[in-house]
Amino acid sequence: MAVPIIIDCDPGHDDVLAIWLAAGNPDIDLRAITTVAGNGSLEHTTLNARVATTVAAIAGVPIAAGAAGPLTRKLRTAPHIHGDNALGGVELPEPTTPLDPRTAIELIVDTLNSSTETVTLVPTGPLTNIGQLIQEHPEVLPKVERIVWMGGSTTRGNMTAYAEFNAWVDPEAIDIVVKSGIPFTMVGLNITHQALITQDVIERIAAIGNQTSAFGVQLLRFFNSTYEAAEGMSDGPLHDPITVALLADPNVVESIESHIDVEVNGTYTAGATCIDIHDMLGQPNNVTVPIRLNVDRYWDLIVDAIAHLR
C-alpha cells in the first residue's frame, strides 16, 4: 500500500526533485504540497512548487502557501545556493498548476481530516508550518503517522559551525516539533552529503529524455555550480529527496534511534540539532536518525520516478 504523505517545502532545487520522486514513485501517495519561506521568499517558493508540478504534469495535488517567515525570527534565505528566486539556473515556465485558496495549515488540516488512514508529513524546509500546525490544531495530530524532516545534522553545519540551514532559519519550530511527541525522523547533513550529484548521475537523468529530466538536468548543473562556489564541492549533495526515498524504500537508509535537543538560544550555536548518539545524557529516544545511505538505490529511485513523469 502506498504511503500517504504531505510535502511541506521551500523549493529550492532539491525540493523539486523530492516532489518529483513523490509523484513518480508508486509506493508514495502524494496528497498535498504546502510551501514555506526558506530557500527563498514565500512568493518564490510557492511559484516554484507550482512550476515543479507543471513541468512534470503532476495533476490533482493541491498546493497551498504557508508561513512567510519563521515563528519569531527574521527570515534569512539562501540565494548563494539557490539563486535570487530560489530556483536559479533555468528559465521558469508560467505554471498551469493553480494555487489552492486555503492556507497551508488549512490544507494540511483538511487533508488529515479527510484521510481514512494516518498521513506522514514530509517537511523539506524550515519547520515553521509544522510548528504552527502543532500549536494551533492539536485535535488533528493523531492523524499524523510521523514527521520526516530534511534538516539538522549530527556533525557539521552549513550556515554556522553547528547549524544546518533549515534548522538555522527557525530553531523554535524544531523545538515545538521535537516536544510534540509525534514520531520524528531527522534527515541531516550527515547523510545527505552521501547523495552527491556526480556527472554519472546527471548523464543518467539526461538519458531519460523527457521534459522533466531536461528541466532537472538544468537544475542539478546549477546546484553543483553554486556548491562549488560556496563550499568547494564540485558534486553537490541532493538533500531533500532522501525524506521521500526512505518512505518509498526503508532499506535505502540505515538509521539509529537517539535523543535530540535543539539549541534556540546559543550565540554561536542557535539552530544546532544536538543528537546524543552515545547516550551521554541517558534521556529517552525521541528521534530516528538515518546515518548511512544506499547511494545506488537512492539514485535508482529518482531516475525511475522521473521516467514515469512527463
Total length of the chain = 310
The pLDDT value given to residue 108 = 98
The pLDDT value given to residue 198 = 98
Q: What does DSSP assign to residue 28?
A: E
44 is catalytic: no
Q: How far is CA 203 from CA 100, 113, 198, 232, 246, in A?
A: 36, 42, 9, 22, 24
The pLDDT value given to residue 147 = 99
Cell numbers at 225, concatenated: 555550480
Question: How many domains in the chain?
Answer: 1
Q: Which residues of the chain have pLDDT under 70?
A: none
The pLDDT value given to residue 221 = 98
Catalytic one of 44, 82, 193, 239: 239
The pLDDT value given to residue 246 = 98
Cell numbers at 206, concatenated: 539526461
* pLDDT, tens digit, 9 for 90 and up, residues 48-58: 999 999 999 99
Residue 288 sits in a domain whose CATH number is 3.90.245.10
The pLDDT value given to residue 36 = 98
The pLDDT value given to residue 9 = 98
Q: Where are the alpha helices (DSSP H) in the chain?
A: 13-24, 42-55, 79-82, 104-114, 128-136, 165-169, 171-179, 189-192, 199-206, 211-231, 241-248, 295-307
pTM, whole model, 2 decimals? Answer: 0.98
The pLDDT value given to residue 228 = 95
Q: Let me know: does 66 contact 128? Beta carbons within 8 Å.
A: yes
Spatial distance between the Cα atoms of 297 and 165, rounded to a whole number of angstroms: 26
Which range marks the domain in which residue 183 is found?
Answer: 3-307
The pLDDT value given to residue 251 = 97
Cβ neighbours for 296, distance < 8 A, ≥ 6 positions apart: none
